[in-house]
């Protein structure tokens, strides 16, 4: 029994006793007992049994069958009544098993389901043997399996799984199927062929547990047939029938083809209602065509539910139909997204279970979305869909002529998802550059950049620059390596048969936290504003050199597009400038649809007229370059720090020259730590940093520079001593070769520090304090001593020791005053004594005040009428210091005077220089404004770096 109702060949075991169905208890139940149950009920062989918990009274318990009994009741058992059952046996016999092909486009194709224990279950494909497929098809009167059985896919459904595996004790199905038909003699005396003996595959069914990610078996039999419409549009055309790779045509005879049949066909195809039906003559040889005919009453849901009849005599026409609906297959996002089937006036999804790679290729071709299919990054989640599956008809390439299986109850499944693409999906990132920059590919909803050295393989004939109409590949003068936090493409690999027009299936490899590279083709060009990056004449740089842009056709629309590309905000103003310079050979006019992604999308093929003028544009924004300190510090563009990565000394020179600080002396890294900043890339034609390309990103450290104008020289003592170079907050020792330390250089160094020319030749000595080193080296063309400072290594770590006039050397220990600085212990003792003296003074003053207050109270008691006078006298007396106090003050002032005089005996030059860094910067030794003009000579002129081309 199944629950409280009787079931055939499966369920809990009961015995009918005196007209009542009473359960059998499961204590000691065996497989032999189960075999006896299946045998007694004529239900075939035992498939499986189990004990199920069921507390209640039973009629038998502890059953022991030998197999020779005629019924279960005659087996040895306990028959006491009533019996308290803790368990009852549940038995499944092969006679309860049924098979069907479900959720397919017809009765003879679909997912294999097995009725097992009263529940329809799917068959696990991992344990399926294809030799069983013929057996299933024959059981269902569907012939044998087709050659294309393996490629067909069906809706997977839901529910539990079973497996079908026949062991050695069961019949060999494959050999049995190949056996010959046996013959029987009919009553009429003629011989006929009957159905072959089919082995009972139902005996091979077993339950399966733990089947994650299992796939269900699908079967297509040779008797499977589908109907299709062959016409220029969907839901219209000649009625065809496809079966086992053969095409049949529906007869257009008036005897069978009528409105009932046509209406049934429209509904079967999900094409709405019948609009009209007709018949047409065959365009080809009628002898080459095979026809079929059906007679419908109008109540059937499918043409194949109608009666199949013999063909009428002299049939030479094909049935034609036109339905009210339309069917179209598309993608939700144009060239990518979820597959959408438009039918019966609605756009609905279809499950991915039946969707194939070939369908994806066909859909991409039908929608003109490229020659390749990209594999998805991540499939969408399950959702409610209307169509279970879609099945193409034979070799038909048109998806709208497919067979669609619609759900009766809306199903939950992963929808079919396709990404079309190809060579058109790869481009240079839109910018002020053309044919140069970061390469990116459109993948699903995003344009993803390509990482450095990313591979693009669309076939042997594919050349990226050629496809972009940019000439041939060319190494860019500057490779900007930009760290990228998001997803980036490392490879696009498309397979195909090698031919140019072959459709391809592409895989895309992705990564995170990569480095983006720059590619450049031979026909590269860049548009700039010549003054400061956001203002100036509009020029185009290319391999042909510098050419100016004609003002023809330029409006606010083109101006806004250009200013945006240059990261300069919105357009402000423009004007025309006369001139005879070389002009760019094309003009610019942006399309009206507003879809221009860069100024190069506005370039036209029209050349400028002969009456051309130069174009001057000013944007509202600026590319303001600054340093955090005077001629040194962190480099910033519009208050944003510049990243240290990819930075070049030539970029530093641009910054220093733009700030009127000469050339750059040295680059250093700014504060470490991730922060938002700008990555900068400059070319040779960028004369200011604001013209260079820049991209926002995350810096690990910013760049700091020091210009030569920021350099100053100091010595450890006044007008002499160890020579140091100072820039920013750094002081470093100075070394030099002997030939460099000539008289002119020494004189200039002395005058730099507001001292007279050198008195004695310079010498080199061991450094007083360990520091980093800078070397003095003065080429003949250097006119500013600051430019003599280099980062060249020192041959010997000997520090330049300078002696200008007025130099007072530091006194040694034997030369210093006998009054030496007392040791720390003496100072501590002195401070302690001072504190004690201070406390005694406070106590003394407090005692004096108490004594006077006591005196005042006594006088008030003796002379109460003169209280006010006494108070006045008391305050007057209090305002006058005691002799003791006055003496104390005089002694203290005298001591301080003597101390000051003693200290004044020492000159400032004799103070000890424990650390040169402690020299007060508020009083420089050599103020620039005090340097006599006659001393500038070869080293005094600033701005020489501009005259020498920035060399040093």
CB atoms within 10 A of CB 587: 22
Mean pLDDT of the chain: 80
Percent of the chain with pLDDT over 90: 40
Query: Over 90: is that where the pLDDT of 566 sits?
Result: yes
Residue 795 pLDDT: 85
Task: Name which of 737, 760, 757, 735 is nearest 747 in CA terms.
Answer: 757
Contact 493, 506 (CB under 8 A): yes
For 609-631, the pLDDT digits (tens) are: 888 899 999 999 988 999 999 99
Q: d(Cα 607, Cα 603) in Å, to the nearest integer?
A: 10
**37 or 500, which is more confident:** 37
Average pLDDT over residues 652-675: 85
Q: What is the spatial distance between Cα 53 and Cα 404, in angstroms, rounded to a whole number? A: 45
Cα 86 to Cα 92, 187, 882, distances in angstroms: 20, 58, 117
* pLDDT, mean of residues 226-255: 90
Q: What is the mean pLDDT of residues 206-215?
A: 86
pLDDT at 174 over 50: no
Cα distance between residue 734 and residue 715, in whole Å: 10
The pLDDT value recorded for residue 823 is 60
pTM, full prediction: 0.67
Neighbours of 238 (CB within 10 A): 19
Average pLDDT on 281-301 reads 79
pLDDT(184) > 90: no
Residue 805 has pLDDT above 80, yes or no: yes
> What's the pLDDT tens digit per position in 479-491?
567 788 888 999 8
Give residue-wise pLDDT tens across range 109-120: 999 999 999 999
Residues with Cβ within 8 Å of 341's Cβ and at least 6 positions away in sequence, in order, are: 327, 328, 329, 347, 348, 349, 350, 386, 387, 390, 404
Q: What pLDDT was estimated at residue 425?
A: 87
Question: What is the pLDDT, as a whole number, of residue 923?
Answer: 30
Task: Identify the pLDDT of residue 594.
Answer: 86
Q: Which domains does the chain have, with CATH numbers?
A: 10-96 (3.10.250.10), 98-168+201-220 (3.10.250.10), 225-323 (3.10.250.10), 328-420 (3.10.250.10), 426-619 (3.10.250.10), 625-708 (3.10.250.10), 711-803 (3.10.250.10)
Q: With bands split at pLDDT 50, 70 and 90, how would you rate the model's confidence at 449? A: very high
* pLDDT at position 900 over 80: no
Please count the residues of the chain.
952
pLDDT digits (tens, 9 = 90+) for 744-789: 888 888 988 888 887 777 888 888 788 888 889 888 888 888 899 9
**pLDDT range class, residue 148, cuts 50, 70, 90:** low
Measure the CA–CA gap between 49 and 31, rounded to whole angstroms: 7
């Amino acid at each position: 029994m199944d629950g409280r109702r009787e079931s055939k060949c499966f369920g809990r075991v009961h015995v009918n006793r005196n007209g009542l169905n009473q359960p059998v208890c499961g204590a000691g139940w065996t497989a032999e007992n189960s075999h006896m149950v299946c045998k007694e009920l004529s239900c075939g062989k035992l498939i499986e049994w189990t004990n199920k918990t069921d507390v209640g009274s039973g009629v038998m318990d502890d059953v022991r069958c030998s197999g020779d009994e005629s019924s279960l009741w005659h087996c040895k058992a306990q028959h006491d009544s009533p019996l308290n059952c803790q368990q009852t046996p549940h038995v499944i016999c092969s006679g309860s098993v049924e098979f069907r092909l479900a959720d397919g486009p017809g009765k003879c194709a679909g997912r294999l389901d097995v009725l097992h224990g009263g529940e329809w279950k799917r068959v696990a494909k991992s344990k399926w043997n294809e030799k069983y497929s013929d057996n299933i098809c024959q059981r269902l009167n569907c012939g044998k399996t087709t050659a294309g059985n393996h490629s067909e896919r069906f809706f997977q459904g839901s529910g539990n799984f079973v497996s079908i595996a026949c062991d050695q004790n069961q019949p060999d199905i494959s050999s049995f199927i190949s056996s010959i038909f046996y013959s029987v003699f009919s009553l009429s005396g003629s011989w006929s062929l009957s159905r072959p003996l089919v082995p009972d595959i139902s005996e091979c069914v077993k339950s399966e547990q733990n089947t994650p990610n299992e796939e269900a078996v699908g079967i297509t039999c040779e008797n499977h047939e589908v109907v299709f419409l062959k016409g220029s549009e969907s839901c219209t055309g000649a009625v065809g029938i496809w079966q086992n790779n053969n095409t049949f045509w529906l007869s257009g005879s008036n005897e069978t083809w009528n409105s009932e049949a046509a209406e049934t066909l429209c509904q079967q195809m999900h094409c709405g209602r019948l609009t009209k039906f007709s018949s047409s003559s065959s365009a080809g040889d009628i002898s080459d065509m095979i026809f079929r005919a059906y007679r419908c009453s109008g109540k059937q849901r499918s043409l194949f539910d109608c009666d199949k009849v013999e063909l009428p005599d002299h049939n030479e026409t094909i049935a034609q139909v036109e339905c009210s609906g339309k069917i179209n297959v598309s993608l939700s996002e144009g060239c990518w997204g979820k597959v959408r089937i438009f039918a019966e006036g609605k756009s609905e999804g279809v499950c991915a279970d039946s969707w194939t790679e070939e369908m994806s290729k066909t859909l991409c071709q039908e929608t003109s979305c490229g020659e390749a299919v990209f594999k998805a990054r991540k499939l969408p989640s399950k959702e409610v869909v209307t169509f279970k599956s879609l099945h193409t008809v034979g070799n038909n390439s048109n998806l709208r002529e497919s067979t669609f299986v619609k759900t009766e109850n809306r199903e939950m499944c992963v929808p079919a998802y396709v990404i079309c693409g190809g060579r058109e999906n790869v481009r240079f990132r839109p910018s002020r550059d053309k044919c140069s920059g970061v390469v990116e590919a459109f993948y699903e909803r995003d344009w993803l950049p390509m990482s450095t050295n990313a591979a693009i393989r669309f076939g042997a004939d594919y050349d990226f620059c050629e496809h972009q109409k940019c000439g041939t590949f060319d190494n860019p003068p500057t490779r900007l390596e930009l760290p990228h936090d998001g997803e980036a493409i490392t490879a696009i690999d498309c397979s195909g048969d090698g031919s140019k027009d072959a459709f391809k299936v592409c895989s895309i490899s992705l990564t995170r936290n990569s480095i983006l590279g720059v590619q450049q083709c031979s026909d590269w060009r860049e548009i700039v504003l010549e003054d400061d990056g956001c203002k100036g004449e509009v020029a185009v740089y290319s391999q042909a050199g510098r050419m100016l842009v004609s003002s023809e056709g330029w409006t606010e629309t083109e101006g806004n597009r250009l200013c945006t590309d240059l990261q300069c905000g919105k357009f402000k103003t423009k004007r025309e400038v006369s001139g005879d310079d070389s002009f760019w050979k094309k003009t610019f006019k942006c399309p009206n649809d507003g879809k221009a992604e860069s100024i190069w999308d506005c370039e036209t093929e029209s050349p400028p007229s002969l009456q051309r003028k130069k174009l001057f544009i000013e944007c509202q924004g600026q590319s303001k370059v600054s340093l955090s300190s005077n001629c040194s510090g962190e480099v910033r563009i519009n208050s944003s720090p510049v990243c240290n990565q990819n930075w070049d000394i030539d970029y530093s020179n641009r910054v220093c020259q733009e700030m009127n600080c000469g050339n750059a002396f040295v680059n250093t890294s700014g504060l470490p730590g991730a922060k938002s900043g700008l990555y900068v890339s400059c070319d040779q034609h960028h004369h200011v940093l604001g013209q260079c390309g820049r991209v926002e990103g995350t810096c690990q450290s910013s760049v700091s520079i020091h210009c030569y104008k920021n350099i100053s020289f100091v010595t450890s003592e006044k007008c002499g001593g160890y020579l140091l170079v100072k820039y920013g907050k750094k002081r470093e020792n100075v070394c030099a070769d002997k030939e460099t330390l000539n008289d002119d250089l020494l004189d200039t160094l002395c005058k730099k520090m507001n001292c007279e020319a050198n008195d004695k030749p310079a010498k080199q000595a061991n450094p007083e304090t360990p520091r980093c080193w800078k070397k003095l080296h003065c080429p003949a063309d250097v006119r500013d001593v600051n430019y003599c400072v280099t980062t060249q290594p020192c041959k010997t770590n000997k520090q330049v020791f300078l002696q200008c006039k007025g130099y007072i050397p530091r006194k040694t220990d034997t030369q210093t005053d006998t009054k030496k600085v007392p040791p720390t212990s003496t100072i501590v003792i002195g401070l302690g004594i001072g504190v004690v003296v201070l406390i005694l003074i406070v106590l003394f003053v407090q005692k004096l005040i108490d004594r006077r207050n006591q005196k005042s109270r006594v006088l008030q008691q003796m002379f109460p009428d003169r209280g006010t006078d006494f108070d006045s006298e008391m305050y007057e007396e209090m305002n006058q210091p005691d002799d003791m106090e006055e003496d104390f003050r005089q002694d203290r002032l005298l001591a301080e005077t003597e101390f000051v005089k003693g200290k004044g005996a020492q000159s400032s030059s004799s103070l000890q220089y424990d650390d040169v860094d402690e020299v007060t910067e508020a009083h420089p030794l050599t103020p620039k404004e005090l340097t006599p003009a006659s001393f500038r000579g070869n080293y005094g002129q600033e701005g020489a770096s501009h005259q020498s081309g920035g060399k040093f």
